[in-house]
Amino acid sequence: MQQLDWSNLAFKYRKTNAAIISRYAGGEWSAPAAVREFELPFNLYAGVFHYANSCFEGLKAFRGVDGKVRLFRPDENAARLRRSAAHLDMAAPPESLFLEMCLQCVRENIDFLPPYGFNASMYIRPVLIGVNPQLGIASSDEVLFAVLGSPVGTYSGAAGLSTGTAVLSRNYDRAAPNGTGSYKIAANYATSLHPYNLAHKQGYRELLFLDPATKTHIDEFGSSNFLAIKGNSYVTPLSDSVLPSITNKSLQQVAADFGMKVEKRPVPLEELAEMDEVNACGTAVVITPIGSLDDKPTLESAEITRTYRFGDPAKCGPVSEKLYRRIRGIQDGTEEDIHNWCVEL
Ligand code: PLP
Ligand code: COI
């Protein structure tokens, strides 16, 4: 077992024992192999470097109260990666290979898997990139699939940011109408880098994007989905430009299990004033409370036209807390996994 400060892992790169890789060429995937060095040779003409022929996933493995190791819904990540790759017209690993490589990655890096009780986990990052040399704009026909694993604690977009603060992005879109917002492709994150930097420089932890077609409805945060509690309802945006979050899908089920009404529908911006609790949700952020959200004419502007407040920025509201505890309990083995979401190592 590694001797790490398990309570303060943050969400950052750490060299671990191994990454698992498989290459696709000539219609076949190679047998997965563990590599100890993460610097691999690539042709500089590989599509990934020029045209963002790249998509990826994020899921977590948890060491449970009972000592068992659980992966949370890896089948969903396998399916979403296939959907993203299909949009890039690129080969994707079958679900069985995806799962095998995720499990192998956890096994190879088991001494980096945080112990139970530190609210930490192993973040698994499957990434699929186009590697054959090319000059023209084209989909890749040779692909590298790598599964990386890193111990993580709490996600914070950048170091030293106040928890729970967010700002609206009015003058930058994450995705286009009819574009790629619903796919987990690298290009979407490149689009959000500059506006995120602007927000982070002003101390905001999160950036909330609006629907790119009309700018009247809420889409999602750059790192996560938007979820609000309004009375007995769980409210989350229905939009073609939002990533279908596996955490959000699971939380909707948990909310329904608690007898809440689940409302997945377009959410007008003004409705923010009526929300009791607002959170970001996703694999990395789990459920992170948003205590306040500033609306500004532009991200560059010093003017704040309106501030929405939703409660303590450092603590989930009571309903969100209940949802958080249930989902984290299922992941840790302290709550019954009634929907069979976890895959044991
Ligand atoms: N939205 C965006 C833009 C994300 O990057 C993520 C992270 O994966 C999510 C939402 C949350 O998705 P999931 O819960 O599947 O991790
Ligand atoms: C995840 O939650 O898995 C993501 O990919 C988001 C990213 C901010 C790490």
Q: What is the mean pLDDT of residues 152-177?
A: 86
**Residues 172 and 133 reside in one and the same domain:** no
**Residues 42 and 123 reside in one and the same domain:** yes
What is the Cα–Cα distance from 189 to 56, expressed in whole angstroms? 11
pLDDT band at 88 (very low <50, low <70, confident <90, very high): very high
Is 248 a pocket residue for ligand 2 (Cβ < 6 Å)?
no
73 domain-assigned: yes
Task: Judge whether residue 160 has pLDDT over 80.
Answer: no
- How buried is 129 (Cβ within 10 angstroms: 0-12 exposed, 13-18 middle, 19+ buried)? buried
In whole angstroms, how far apart are CA 85 and each of 55, 56, 80, 94, 268? 7, 9, 9, 11, 31
What is the Cα–Cα distance from 225 to 236, expressed in whole angstroms? 8
Q: What is the mean pLDDT of residues 43-65?
A: 98
Give the per-residue pLDDT at 101: 98
342 domain-assigned: no
Strand partners, 207: 167
Of 133, 153, 173, which residue constitutes the final position of a domain?
153
**Residues 183 and 117 reside in one and the same domain:** no
22 domain-assigned: yes
Mutate to test the pocket of ligand 1, among 72, 169, 245 (most ligand atoms within 8 A of CB): 245
Report the percent of the chain where pLDDT is more than 70. 98
What's the CATH code of the domain at 302?
3.20.10.10
Domain boundaries, position 118 = 6-153
Q: Tell me how far the alpha carbon of residue 295 lies from the centroid of ligand 2, in angstroms.
A: 24
Closest ligand, as measured to the CA of 72: 1
State pLDDT tens for residues 6-22: 999 999 999 999 999 99
What's the CATH code of the domain at 10?
3.30.470.10
216 domain-assigned: yes
Active-site entry in 184, 201, 215, 249: 184
For 108-122, b/e burial (b = at least 16 CB within 10 A) is: bbbebbbebebebbb
Atom of ligand 2 nearest to the CA of 284: 2
**Residues 217 and 306 reside in one and the same domain:** yes
Nearest CA-CA partner of 236 in 245, 227, 225, 244: 227
Q: What is the mean pLDDT of residues 101-128?
A: 97
Quote the radius of gyration of the chain (alpha carbons, Å): 20
Q: Tell me how far the alpha carbon of residue 225 lies from the centroid of ligand 1, in angstroms.
A: 6
Q: Is 184 a catalytic residue?
A: yes
Helices (H), the chain: 47-51, 74-87, 95-108, 186-201, 246-257, 318-332
Inter-axis angle of helices 74-87 and 95-108, to 10 degrees?
120
Task: Judge whether residue 157 has pLDDT over 80.
Answer: no
Task: Judge whether residue 301 has pLDDT over 80.
Answer: yes
**Residues 52 and 104 reside in one and the same domain:** yes
Of 118, 153, 188, which residue constitutes the final position of a domain?
153
Residues touching ligand 1 (Cβ under 6 Å) are 58, 220, 222-225, 243, 245-248, 282-283
**Residues 201 and 251 reside in one and the same domain:** yes
339 domain-assigned: no
Q: What is the mean pLDDT of residues 82-94?
A: 98
158 domain-assigned: no
**Residues 130 and 215 reside in one and the same domain:** no
Q: Tell me how far the alpha carbon of residue 135 lies from the centroid of ligand 2, in angstroms.
A: 30
Give the per-residue pLDDT at 35: 98
**Residues 292 and 326 reside in one and the same domain:** yes
Is 223 a pocket residue for ligand 2 (Cβ < 6 Å)?
yes
Q: Give the angle 179-188-252 at the CA atoms, nearest 5°.
A: 85
- Can you say whether the dihedral through the CA atoms of 224, 286, 239, 57 is positive or negative? positive
Strand partners, 229: 234, 277
- How buried is 92 (Cβ within 10 angstroms: 0-12 exposed, 13-18 middle, 19+ buried)? buried
Is 150 a pocket residue for ligand 2 (Cβ < 6 Å)?
no
Closest ligand, as measured to the CA of 221: 1
**Residues 20 and 115 reside in one and the same domain:** yes
Closest ligand, as measured to the CA of 157: 2
Mutate to test the pocket of ligand 2, among 73, 125, 189, 224 (most ligand atoms within 8 A of CB): 224
In DSSP notation, 194-223 reads: HHHHHHHHTT-SEEEEEPTTTS-BEEEESS
What is the 3 state secondary structure string of 117-137?
CCCCEEEEEEEEEECCECCCC
**Residues 137 and 20 reside in one and the same domain:** yes
Q: Tell me how far the alpha carbon of residue 330 lies from the centroid of ligand 2, in angstroms.
A: 20
State pLDDT tens for residues 234-266: 999 999 999 999 999 999 999 999 999 999 999
Longest dimension (CA), the chain: 56
In whole angstroms, how far apart are CA 203 and each of 9, 162, 191, 210? 21, 7, 20, 20
Q: What is the mean pLDDT of the chain?
A: 96
Q: 3-state class of 289 per DSSP?
A: strand
51 domain-assigned: yes
For 5-14, 138-147, 152-161, 212-221, which range has the lowest pLDDT when averaged over its residues? 152-161
**Residues 186 and 144 reside in one and the same domain:** no
Contact of 125 with 115, CB cutoff 8 Å: no
Give the per-residue pLDDT at 81: 98
Q: 3-state class of 310 per DSSP?
A: coil
- Confidence (pTM): 0.97
Q: Tell me how far the alpha carbon of residue 130 lies from the centroid of ligand 1, in angstroms.
A: 22
Task: Judge whether residue 311 has pLDDT over 90.
Answer: no
How many domains in the chain?
2
Of 153, 187, 203, which residue constitutes the final position of a domain?
153
Q: Phi and psi (nearest 5°) for 13?
A: -65, 135
**Residues 40 and 137 reside in one and the same domain:** yes
159 domain-assigned: no
What is the Cα–Cα distance from 168 to 185, expressed in whole angstroms? 22
